[in-house]
Chain A
Amino acid sequence: EVQLVESGGGLVQPGGSLRLYCAASGLSVSDYEMNWVRQAPGKGLEWVSYSNRDGGIILYADSVRGRFTISKDTAENSLYLQMNSLRADDTAVYFCARRFSRYMDVWGKGTTVTVSS
C-alpha cells in the first residue's frame, strides 16, 4: 500500500524552527516529484514547496521562500521540510503529497504546526 506519514509538528514560538518529516512506504521518494501543502485553521489549501525527483529543481511559495527548505533523504525514503523564522501565519496543518503527472494523487494525513508565544 502506498502511504505517506507526516510527523514533526508541534508548538513553537515565533522566530523558532521545526523540521517536518514525511515517511514514504510503497513508493520511493526518489522516483517522484513531491510537494508540501498547508492549510491554516478554517482556511483553504496553500501550496508551499516542490521538489523534483532528484532534488535538482526546488520551488517555494513566496510566503516561505528564504525561510523553508525542502529536501529528500533517499536512504530514509523520506521528504523533509525545514522551517525557520516561523511566524504566527505559518500555523497550519502541513501535508506532504506525491505529484504524479502534474497532480497530487497521494497525500499524508498531515501534521499540525502551531506558532505561538
Chain B
Amino acid sequence: DIQMTQSPSSVSASVGDRVTITCRASQDINSWLAWYQQKPGKAPNLLIYDASSLRSGVPLRFSGSGSGTDFSLTISSLQPEDFATYYCQQTNSFPHTFGQGTKLEI
C-alpha cells in the first residue's frame, strides 16, 4: 500500500496568513492526488484534484502543486472559513490512502 504522510499535523495561523501543507507519498503517484477540506461534524469537501486542478467553485486562494512523491497545498490568504482539517489522498492505486490530516487552527 502507498503511505501518505502530511506535515505538519497541525498549524496555527491568522487571518490573512499564507499557509502551505505538504504531503509525501511513499512511491511515485504521478499527479493522482486530491486535497479535501473537512470541518467538524461535516463530510470532506474536494478542493483540488490531479494535484493542481482547482475544483469549480473553490476560491482561487487555494492552490496545489507537485508530482511524483511530493505535493503541497497552499492557501494564499487565510479566511475565517478556512480553519478546518485538510487531507491529501492518492488515487494512483487501490487502496486509495489518505494522509493523516493537517488541522489548521486560529
Closest chain-B Cβ to A109's Cβ sits at a distance in Å of 6
1/0 per residue A95-113: CB within 8 Å of B? 1010001111101111000
1/0 per residue B22-65: CB within 8 Å of A? 00000000001010101000111110011000010000000000
Closest chain-B Cβ to A99's Cβ sits at a distance in Å of 9
- Give the chain A neighbours of B55 by CB distance below 8 A: 105
Q: Please tell me which stretch of B12-20, B73-81, B95-103 contacts chain A, meaning at least 4 of its Cβ atoms lie within 8 angstroms of it.
A: B95-103
- Once bound together, how far apart are the Cα atoms of A47 and B34, in whole Å? 14
- Give the chain A neighbours of B44 by CB distance below 8 A: 37, 45, 95, 104, 107
Dominant secondary structure at the A interface: strand
Query: For this complex, into which size category does the number of interface residues on chain B fall?
Result: 20 to 34
Closest residue of chain B to A60, judged by CB?
B95
- Once bound together, how far apart are the Cα atoms of A35 and B91, in whole Å? 12
**Would B96 and A47 count as touching, CB distance under 8 A?**
yes
Instruction: Tally the A-B contacts, defined by beta carbons under 8 Å.
Output: 55
Q: A44-B99, A45-B98, A47-B97 are in contact. Are A102 and B43 (CB under 8 A)?
A: no
Closest chain-B Cβ to A17's Cβ sits at a distance in Å of 23
- Once bound together, how far apart are the Cα atoms of A95 and B42, in whole Å? 10
**Does B71 have its Cβ within 8 Å of any Cβ on chain A?**
no
Which residue among B32, B42, B44 has the maximum number of chain A CB atoms within 10 Å of its CB?
B44
1/0 per residue A36-60: CB within 8 Å of B? 0100000011110010000000010
A contact residues vs B (CB 8 Å cutoff)? 35, 37, 44-47, 50, 59, 61-62, 95, 97, 101-105, 107-110
Q: Can you give 17 contacting A-B residue pairs, CB < 8 Å? A: A44-B100, A45-B87, A45-B89, A45-B98, A47-B95, A47-B98, A59-B95, A61-B95, A95-B43, A95-B44, A102-B49, A103-B91, A104-B46, A107-B44, A107-B45, A108-B43, A109-B42
Closest 6 CB pairs of A and B: A107-B43, A102-B91, A45-B98, A103-B49, A44-B101, A47-B96
